[in-house]
Amino acid sequence: MLNQVCVLTIKVRDMEKDVQFYTEKLDFKVSKKYGENIISLEHNGLPLILEKAEIENAPTSSNVLLAIQSSNIQEDFKKLHDKGVKIISEEPMPCPPGYFFVIEDNSGNQLEIVEFVN
């Protein structure tokens, strides 16, 4: 039965810069390298694969959005802002389960930071 997400893959343009983004800005750890084009990251049990995009100028929009849970959205907003992360919204915004804001990695992939309060 298909009932559990096992991994998320994000296509990136510059592997070195994006590994640096996910490890230094979002605290993921490199768990395994599968050559130069595929690197596995992990954060609190969540596996994430960075894969080098085959097309250099591939579209950056997607119908899939990775959400990272926050336990203190105001603190995380400030921390990411201070680290120079590109933040799409000017402040965390309300949503049905709590609050969220959206950031972009170096390849233009959007990631949602969400705090569940309701």
Report how far Cα 107 is from the mean position of its chain's Cα atoms: 11
What is the per-residue pLDDT for 60?
Answer: 56
The pLDDT assigned to 80 comes to 96
pLDDT band at 59 (very low <50, low <70, confident <90, very high): low
Q: How far is 54 from 97, CA to CA, in rounded Å?
A: 36
pLDDT in tens, 22-54: 999 999 999 999 888 999 999 888 888 898 987
Which domain CATH number covers 20?
3.10.180.10
Answer yes or no: is pLDDT of 2 > 80: no
Higher pLDDT, 62 or 89: 89
- Overall number of domains in the chain: 1
In a domain, 60, yes or no: no
What is the pTM for the complete model shown? Answer: 0.75
Q: Is residue 3 part of a domain?
A: no
Structural contact between residues 87 and 95, judged by C-beta atoms closer than 8 angstroms: no
What integer pLDDT is reported at residue 88 of this predicted model? 94
Q: Residue 96 belongs to what domain range?
A: 8-55+65-116
